[in-house]
Structures are given as structure tokens and as C-alpha cells.
Amino acid sequence: MQAIPFWVASLLTGLAAVLYSNLFALMENGTAWIIRHGIAWLFLVTPVCFFVAWWLVQRYAPYARGSGIPQVMASIELATPRYNAMVNRLLSLRIIVVKVLSSLVMALGGGVIGREGPTIQVAGAIFRKVNEWLPAWWPKVSKRNMIMTGAAAGLAAAFNTPLGGIVFAVEELTRTHISYFKTALFTAVIIAGLTAQGFLGPYLYLGYPDMNGLSGSIFFGVALVAAVAGLAGAAMSKGILKIFAWKARFRFARHQVFFVVGCALLLAGAAFFIDERVLGSGKGLMTTALFTTGKYNSWYLSLLRIGGPLVSFTTGASGGVFAPALSAGASIGATFSGWLHLTAANTNLLVLAGMVAFLTGVTRTPFTSAILVLEMTDRHNVIFHLMLAGMIASLVAMVVDKHSFYDHLKVQYMRDIIKQDEKATV
């Protein structure tokens, strides 16, 4: 009977992930349609979408902003009877609705965001609500374990990466011994993943890049790209945190509005005057680098893909950084491959190494990053290259900040929500 809530929540998570994925793809196709029919329309569409996405969060669910992973991490820390009301502000049905709507509007406007972080918060909220709906006579199920399992199931369903979901729970979320809930965790990941596959098929997020004929000295290229991408990921995270600290000094709501509209115009201008590939989650950029002859890209595209989250994530609307981080890392790998005049297979490896390294620079979870990219491409012969990239990136990122991006935001959410509770009590 204790297992049944996990099964039910996992099934609902798989269904929600599939629906959200299809809607997100539809919005990104909408952005592409706008570009085809006149890219100048972005100067109108992007500010309107950014404002609406921000307003939805501000008006209805402030804790639906951003990625969703820090909110889940904070919920796990606060999952005690004393803080039950606080967790409700982070994981609830309202959060699910606002999270999805805000991120979809951002995606339509070309926002450089992903759906993976939001899927994790949605999954955590689903698991928590299922736990709350259990009758009083039902055997007690740990709230903390439900939320952690939900987050893992959400990531597994979003990327179709079951091992990545499990490693993510172990490396990023758990503060208790995994033996206490390993069966529930494995079962939830399997059910959520199979549900998603039932509708979407056994797809790979990226596909099968060619890895035949790798050079023996490519390890040096992997190390170089990993160091640069790891530093870039940590620097981008630090920049976002600095902007958040600056925004906290805004005294009036109109300042927030000006900031949101200004960010939208900056992004639209970058797409119009420089390169439209700055827009969106960046999945197309990754597949282009891996599966076409246009593998190399200009150095400025890497800067655009790093700057995109700075003007999208900081607006306060919903949207994750997983996919944008992967695409930024891919662009760095493709840039270095062009400078080094590498073969197609070696280029593919540096693209994957850049993806692992940049994501590690943001999250400081090298094994999760390596396993995610491995499962997205099914290229087991380069697992050691990817793990090397993750470890190097994790080490060099310490130069920029000793703590991960999500850790900083988790502490901020916990501090804010506890302070609000204390004020309400007084």
C-alpha cells in the first residue's frame, strides 16, 4: 500500500511530462513561424510574451518563477510538519498551472529557457499532492521521499533518461540514505519513463551522433573544452545571481516592468541584428552541430547562447536552464572544433563534452551531467570522455564559486519563505 501512491504519482507525472513537452514544442514552432514571416515582429511579440509570463508569476504564484529545481530542493529541506504550509507555496496545483503557462508564453516569445527544470517542479508538486490526498488510515509515506522521487521521475520523463533521473536524485537531492527509498525511486522512474515512452516512443533526446574513428589525442581537446565550458557555466550562473541581487533593490513595480521589457528587446535585437539562433532552448543548435555538415559555428554564437539565459531567466518568469546550458556548451565545443579543424567524429565528442561541462558548471553535478548526455545520445564508447569533462568542469568552476547555482537559489527561497512566515505570525 505504501508503494501505490508512488505508482499513481509516477503515472500522472509521465502524462504531464508528455503534454508539457508537446505544448512546449508547439510554442517553439510558433516562434519559428514568426521568424519565417518577418523576424522584425519579435520586437513586438517578445516584449509582450515576456511581460505576460512575468505577470502570471507575479500575480498568481511568485514561487513558480525560474527553473523549479531550487524550489524542489528547498521543499525537501522544509518537508517537516513545522514547515508544511511553506512547502505548499513551493509545490501546489497553482504552481503547476502557473509554471506551465508562464514557461509556454516565454517559449513563444523566443525566451532562452528549457522545460526540464519546470517539469521537475511540476512532478514534485504532483507527488506531494498525491501524498496529501491519502486518507488518514493509509500507511504513512515520507513527504521528503515523495518529493525527491517526484523530482527524479520528472527529469527522467522530460529527457527520457531514467539513469539520469536516478543519479540526479542521488547526487543533487538526497540528504538521507538512498536505501530508505531506493525501491520507490527506481519504480517511479520506470513508470514515469514508460508512460512518456508510451506516447512519444522510445526516443533519444538528441539521437545517435557518429563517434567512429576518434583520435587518441582527443582527450586534450576534451580537457580544454571542459575547462572553458565549466568556467563559462559558472560565470553565467554568477552573473544571473548578481542581476537578481541588483533587482532586489528595485523599489517600484514599474522598475520590474522596465527590466522585463528591456530584456525582451535585447533578446529580440540580438536575434534580428546578429543571429536568430540565440532564441529558444537551443535543441536545434545541438542537433545541427551533431548531425549536419554545418558543425562549426562562430565564436559570437557561444556568447549569445550564454547571454540568452541572462536576459530570460532573470526576468522572473518561469523557465529552466538545463537545455540552454546544454546548448551553450554545445556551441563552445563546436567553436573550438572549428578552430582546431577536427574531424566530424572528434567534433561530435567535443560538442558532447561541452554540453556536460557547461551543465556541470551550473549544477556542480558532474555524474548527472555525464549520464544525461550519455542517455540522450546512446554513445557508451565515450562515457569516460564525458565523465572526464564533468570532473574537470566541476573543479575549474570552483574558481568562480564554491557553491552551485541551485544551492544559492535554494538558500534564497528558504530564507524568503521563512521570513514571510515569521512576518505573518507576528
Distance from C-alpha of 174 to C-alpha of 77, rounded to nearest angstrom? 10
Distance from C-alpha of 422 to C-alpha of 82, rounded to nearest angstrom? 12
In order, the DSSP letters of 192-241 are: HHHHHHHHH-S--SS-----TT--TTHHHHHHHHHHHHHHHHHHHHHHHH
Assess if CATH 1.10.3080.10 describes domain 3-200: yes
Q: Which residue has the cell 575549474?
A: 396
Cα–Cα nearest to 261, from 332, 327, 311, 200: 311
pLDDT of residue 205: 84
Residue 172 is classified by DSSP as I
pLDDT of residue 180: 61
Distance from C-alpha of 403 to C-alpha of 392, rounded to nearest angstrom? 16
In the numeric block, which cell numbers belong to residue 242? 548578481
pLDDT of residue 23: 96
In the numeric block, which cell numbers belong to residue 407? 544551492
- Give CA separation, 403 vs 19, 104, 173, 363, in Å: 34, 30, 14, 9
State pTM to two decimals. 0.92
pLDDT of residue 425: 60
Fold identical between 3-200 and 218-410?
Answer: yes
CATH fold of the domain at 218-410: Clc chloride channel (1.10.3080)
Distance from C-alpha of 424 to C-alpha of 47, rounded to nearest angstrom? 35
Torsion angle (degrees, nearest 10) of CA 275, 373, 232, 274: 0
User: For the chain, which residues make up each domain, given as ranges?
Assistant: 3-200, 218-410
Across 220-237, b (16+ Cβ under 10 Å) vs e yields ebbbbbbbbbbbbbbbbb
Low-confidence ranges of the chain (pLDDT < 70): 175-181, 421-426
